[in-house]
Amino acid sequence: MNDPFALRTIPPEDEALRAPVRAFLAEALKGVPPAVRARSWLGFDADFSRQLAAHGWLGLTLPRAYGGGGRSPFARFVLVEELLAAGAPVSAHWIADRQSGPLIARYGTEEQKAFYLPRICTAEAFFCIGMSEPNAGSDLASVRTRAERTASGWRLSGRKIWTTNAPHSHFMIALVRTSGAPEDRHRGLSQLIVDLSLPGVHIAPIHDLTGDAHFSEVTFDDVELPESALIGTEGAGWEQVTAELAFERSGPERIYSSIVLLEEWAHALREASRTTHTPVGESERRTLGAFVTELATLRAMSVAVTGALANGGSPATQAALVKDLGTSFEQSVPTLIGDALGAHPQQAVARELADTLDYVTKIAPSYSLRGGTREILRGMIARGLGLR
């Protein structure tokens, strides 16, 4: 298929997953206020993740031999779309299910697959990502965290930052330098699985504007790791992490971060129209229509990237484009809804909507940081198009 964003249809067998997931979520999230549901993929709830696992909904794309569902990426797309649309707390299992598990399944040894994958599928092993570093920003090729070979494995030293859920995670997959110097860029990078309970691992939470502490700085002081900590081939870390980022950037999570707020605003417009018997204003209709149109386009692009993954591809450029455009959309939602409400200062705003808008407005700036800044993404897109 020449067009990387050609329209794709979710197969019926995967679409059939939507109804039972939606029914489960309606019961599981009954009475949860929208300001809480708006946290969704930053909402940590290990018990909820275990409930998903009990239904067989974790590790949907992982091999059946290791406890997974053995299904296509389209099945996971349907599941994730329903989870985010409902505002489910998915953070506990999120990274392991989305990228750590598939990375291990693709590059890991038989021993690694047999140990980690079943635990991911039962919500017994939570992972975090060790990519970004202080003074490196989104320039992953300049990482300085180093793993030196020892008689029994590796000795790890350095720091990682903006690490989501590090205090709650059991393991980290870290991009580190196993040879050469930062000036060597892509050469000499490898990926290691780090048991975060080991001596020498120090985790310092970072509080954000909302008062939460999803991010952390993680320091490694001569952490001793076994030889089996290495994933894939030593020195092939850049190729592997690029494949991992395609998993991270391509899914519906990059377009639905503000969806609970958008739905709450649409509900408020319907309620106001019903109680006052006056139609929704022209300005609000145009804004809502623009949201729906853009969201539909982004969803079609995300489904197309999922199709590329289902065909065994690694659509890094397309995933970066979806992430960049999706982030801009997600950040526009609280801004434009705030403007729409501010245009009618005499009208009362429901507490549920006000609280949700307050949270999303505060957290939205982070959307263009997590998963790669838009400047880095646009550089990747330009290279992918042969423009630089």
Structural domains present in the chain: 12-125 (1.10.540.10), 129-235 (2.40.110.10), 251-384 (1.20.140.10)
Residue 247: what pLDDT? 66
Has residue 168 got a pLDDT over 90? yes
Which pLDDT belongs to residue 305?
87
Choose the weakest-confidence range: 5-14, 254-263, 322-331, 379-388: 379-388
Q: Which of 48-52, 177-181, 372-376 has the least mean pLDDT?
A: 372-376
pLDDT of residue 1: 46
pTM of the model: 0.89
Lowest mean pLDDT among 56-65, 96-105, 130-139, 140-149: 130-139
Pairing of strands 171-177, 127-130: parallel
Question: What does the pLDDT look like over 331-367, one tens digit per residue?
Answer: 999 999 999 999 989 888 999 999 999 999 999 998 8
State the pLDDT at residue 7: 82
Which tokens belong to 264? 């709450």
65-104 pLDDT tens trace:
999 999 998 999 999 999 999 999 999 999 999 999 999 9
Q: Six-digit token pair at 258?
A: 């503000």
Residue 44 has a pLDDT of: 92
